[in-house]
Chains A and B, each alone.
Chain A
């Protein structure tokens, strides 16, 4: 049985999150101190070498992303993506609620690397109590002077899922309609108020203090070589233990569900698991021995995404669940690009028709071609990923669809 391994949750339940003194006693801000003794290029090289990949979903090499920001820009920004809008995901909230200073330290380390003096935390609108906690933590950090000349402000989202997409998030901070921008330019070159901007996820930032303190080699040796470190996972659905855990990325789905989740509730049988949030693919029993790291999940047509693990037992209705997911995307599409604006709407309508037992094979064919086009043609990740639950359930659970079709 694999063990939990705690890097980002190293202080969880061991310190009082409201007290910076506790954090300092636990070795807090030593990573930042060490980072500040290094030159910016050396720090970036170190993070690059650790192969820390973004924990917000796209798994981009963190140090490499930082290196795109021009070193000599007079103004640049560090933005923490704490929108956490992916249903079933609450890992960033757990991390911040248990150890807010760790996030501030991670952002300040990034600030030193990219020569930025200002950070923003974009917090999910449904977490107002976490905003309060963060503001108290920032006040304490300012009071102790640990952040030096780096400052951090918290901004609140308004509840749109798409505002977790980094460029829509930037638009939202700027006070505009939350719509993704076209790329290039990437935020690293022209982001917030057209200045170089690094956007990283909460979990990405909170890995940094330990990486700087213990060195890139230490981190790179943990978990899967291509996606080293740990991942905080949130278990929901029909598992016995609906918990959040932090495990090395070599853990398999089966280990996660059965060793940590305690298996399926009430002794029922497993049917499917959806990993990475609502836009993740559905995974059948036969693929449960896949490790959770980003590339292995990709390999089976799924995604690690945010690390949400949504388990469904044998009684669950796959078509009904997929219909509800389609409704989510119909509701959350920002409406900027054609294939997603119209596609999520029609996909939901087709799913409803199937779910109500009124669809024909032709309707499923139409849904399939629509989904395949959306994956490749949509402007941002929302529309590109929205068809994934549809396509993976059609692939792995087709009999459930078939049973719903009209016979003639």
Chain B
């Protein structure tokens, strides 16, 4: 164990911990922007700075190792002043329109500006940032006028999705998140998994599918399993007034043991069918070439009757069941059980084998 002093309090932490981890264990809050426990460390936003007695430079606590005997201050006047300047520098390049921003109420920049009382920036010199917002993909908006260059999206794309569709182009203030040759995501290797959207701490990356449908604080989050395939990813349905208005990730080990928040394009963005007027909500029975609505009991009775007749007349092996990767493991299990035990045939197959 390592023993260090944080804000006058002696704290013990396992060897190999960072100062940030030691603070978290001791219940001392530290603001972070680029830090994400699921991603490779960047140490670049400098919001998590702390002062270590006797050292001339501030240390980024998310990457600085906790060392025996060091004396750390997390909210000294110098640190607070530095965080304010950093927030003001970010504000100076930020297009604040919280009132219509999808991230309002769930935005780290907004939270920290509030916490540190940053009402306006002292550094509004030069031209304001003015990037065009015109990525035509149907899934998410990229508004780099709200980007704080934390590179969480780049690291998520590289480390979680292993796609590397995006990276940083240019240098200094002109550095920007970009695909190769700064094109559209649709012309890049992007698979629209939205892991970048998941980790973005601001409104730079937001879902187009749920745009305008509800604020993060207005929705109930219902933990469920994605019904698109057998992987069994956990996701959170965002429900407002009994309507699904979005999907977000649950990133905890317990809440999301299979996928830890990672999803694919279908799970994250493909939920709008739920409220589609074209969606079938009752069984249909075809009579004289026309479909008519039926109850579940009537439909199931009809299917059972017809399957029984076919089995009697032609034998069980005259039937086969073909299951789908678009249903869950449990449903696939039931389908094969039904085929073998009820229909009485081994003629069961699955689209994943094609």
Contact = CB atoms under 8 A, between A and B. Distances in A.
Interface of A: 160, 177, 182, 184, 330-346, 349-350, 353, 363, 366, 369-370, 373, 376-379, 384
A97 to B, nearest CB: 30
Contact of A349 (B44, B58, B126, B149): B126
A353 B125 CA distance: 9
A341 B173 contact: yes
Contacts of B63: 182
Contacts of A378: 46
The 5 lowest CB-CB distance pairs between A and B, nearest first, are A335-B175, A345-B173, A349-B125, A342-B89, A333-B172
21 contacts: A160-B171, A182-B60, A333-B172, A335-B149, A335-B168, A335-B171, A335-B172, A335-B174, A339-B46, A342-B90, A342-B93, A345-B126, A369-B81, A369-B122, A370-B123, A373-B82, A373-B86, A376-B56, A377-B46, A377-B82, A379-B46
Interface size bucket, B side? 35 or more
Contacts of A184: 65
Contacts of A350: 125
B189 interface: no
Given A345-B172, A376-B56, A338 B44 contact: yes
Contacts of A339: 46, 82, 85-86, 89
Contact of B85 (A341, A363, A373): A373
Given A342-B123, A376-B58, A337 B44 contact: yes
A177 B45 contact: no
B46 A331 contact: no
A350 B92 CA distance: 13
Nearest to B47: A338
A177 B168 contact: yes
A350 B124 CA distance: 10
Given A344-B172, A366-B123, A177 B44 contact: no
Contact of A376 (B42, B57, B148): B57
Given A345-B126, A346-B92, A177 B58 contact: no
A377 B89 contact: no
A338 B46 contact: yes
A104 to B, nearest CB: 33
Contacts of B44: 336-338, 379
Interface in B84-103: 85-86, 89-90, 92-93
A379 B60 contact: yes
B55 to A, nearest CB: 10
Given A338-B45, A373-B86, 5 more contacts: A336-B44, A366-B122, A370-B89, A376-B57, A376-B58
B85 A370 contact: yes
A346 B88 CA distance: 11
B85 A384 contact: no
Contacts of B86: 338-339, 373, 377
B310 interface: no
Given A182-B60, A377-B58, A377-B82, A342 B122 contact: no
Contacts of B92: 342, 346
Contacts of B125: 346, 349-350, 353, 363
B78 A331 contact: no
Interface in B120-163: 122-123, 125-126, 148-149
B312 interface: no
B85 A337 contact: no
Contact of B78 (A366, A376, A384): A376
A282 to B, nearest CB: 20
A342 B175 CA distance: 10
Contact of A384 (B57, B122, B149): B57
A380 to B, nearest CB: 10
A184 B59 CA distance: 12
Given A369-B85, A384-B57, A182 B90 contact: no
